[in-house]
Structure 1
Amino acid sequence: MRVAVVGGSGNVGTALMRALLVAPEVTSVLGISRRVPTGEPYASADWASFDISRPAASDADEQGLIEELAQHLEGVDAVVHLAWLIQPNRDRDLLRRTNVDGTDRVVRASALAGVRQIVVASSVGAYSPVHDDAPRREDHATGGVPTSHYSVDKAAQERVLDLFEAEHPEIRVARMRPGLIFQSDAGAEIHRYFLGPLVPRALLKPGLLPVMPWPRGFRLQAVHADDMAQAYLLAVLKRASGAFNIAADDVLWGEDVAKVAAGGGPLVQMPPGLVRTLLALAYSAHLVPVDPGWLDMGAGAPLMDTSRAKEVLGWRPTHTAAGSMASLMAGIAGGKGTASAPMRPA
């Protein structure tokens, strides 16, 4: 089968390229991105350059862009849509045009090209906020967190898929909803996107932090990029449809993060409101690249029950969340990356 990956040069796309290129069931891989990468694992795939965020001056222009993308997708059996813009965080129009309108373009171009399966990168961020730690399955509401533009756009992306599925019942659509996705090779990228120059890279070598500040009650779910890639591969091979929560089995609480980041050093639990205020001030002063909405989303995100992915896809994580976080932190400290533009090393 021929598989196309839209956004194949990013964190998950790079891991998925590695997985697809060694899967015996996959005969060829097409990567689609705005900037075509070089080197491995990218060089072993076919590539096409297409910007899903390109502005359209009219409805006719929009249809022309969809037709242009559809030409690239001719002969493709399954499309995996991963493209999502995180930065520039302050350019709200560009983010919406890329993430929501871009998803609409990809699915409509896929239908026009005769593709019969689409697997889309959604997120735990699409879920409506909760105030407890009870695990939620995939039927939990996807209304998003109103103060997080990332979450609002992920919820809007879900509505795009709802409408598309109603219009195209003949096409199988799967929605992957992972937690945080970590790998060593994403170190430089994640440092640029989320931390910036205010946080020195060398300070984030696992076990080096003298103390671990943490918002009280905050917890995270994460998955290694290679495990995430296997979930996508299984969804493609099994022609799966519907939503799938994806995360490692362990949940990262403050104590767990302190073991990784501070070598078991002191954990300082801070009032979430204070942390939000400090982040808002730092963002307003252009000291950090992310706004407080990211904290709101993390605080409100439900813990995900991942049993459906295990039952339907046969998926099992091979990395713990703690181990994946340690790998990422080592990658940040070392400025690690790959040959693609978004994943370039420090």
Structure 2
Amino acid sequence: MAGPGDIRAELEAKATELGFDAFGITEAELRDDVAEWLHGFVAEGRHGTMEWMETRLHHRASPRALWPNAKSAIMLGVNYGPKDDPRLLLDAPEYGNISVYARGKDYHDIIKKRLKAFARWIVETYGCELKVFVDTAPVPEKPLASAAGLGWQGKHTNMVSREFGSWLFLGAIYTDMDLAHDSPHRDQCGSCRACIEACPTDAFPAPYQIDARRCISYLTIEHKGPIAEEFRRALGNRIYGCDDCLAACPWNKFAQASHEAAFHARVELGAPALSDLVVLDDASFREVFSGSPIKRIGRDRFVRNVLYAIGNSGNTGHLPAVNNLCHDASEVVRDAALWAKAQLGGKA
């Protein structure tokens, strides 16, 4: 009969066969201090308008509150490392800068399909019960991945890996099997503050703490209304997400470009022209971003972001398109258009 160590080796071999780049197992429970951090994050309002974090906090702070039968969490990672530093495009104001993770196909679909294949094999092989998650359920992926040895949560609160730097998609499988656990990864940030100092909006009140309300990723993706004027200049040409704190991490010197073609930047999303994006209506937006995670924020929020980037571009050639949007049906688009017009010296 296979022992816990043998089963772990079999699981890791199958995960590698299915295309996962990182693998580890931990107990399906969080340390008390991690659960306290989550509660404090919400209590201080740093989650912004992400109400789902508050309403399901009890599940996020305790895997067994989500599924009482869970004994082990199998944590998996897929490398999505970019070929080039994503910050290079920040110096090209005529183009929109999209976060690396959203330049290719939607990772949710790709990883969930892979997780389900892995889950079917586990059930057939070991006859257990399990549940599969990838970023859409109240699962504390980063703390669990750290506990499972995939890496550690850096001072920017994101995962850092010795092998893949800051570029790992995470997936989780909760199972009722009592598996051999891996050792937690040691924090190797040291005295480095590169990620904190790289943030354009000072979203880190202290190391290992983040205020989402100041984070460009939150503002451009999760926040539905007009973005506060104090942050609009700092957005630059970032129109969906931000990679500055991730890209600044020195551990990226060991990272490698993803071997997954689906995660490579689509030609039209690697460096999209703002002039092409600002004219998108709802139908054309859905067509352009079919199969992309960008699609979920909708045309109005996306064009809002594009207009902020246009306002920061200094190019008055955009004024005709901006003027058209000053009368858009969407209030958030109208507000952004009026701001962009003022930045470009157009008449009110």
TM-score scaled to structure 1, two decimals? 0.27
Higher helix share: 2
| Higher CA-based Rg | 2
Q: Considering fraction of residues, name the structure with more strand.
A: 1
For normalisation by structure 2, the TM-score amounts to 0.27
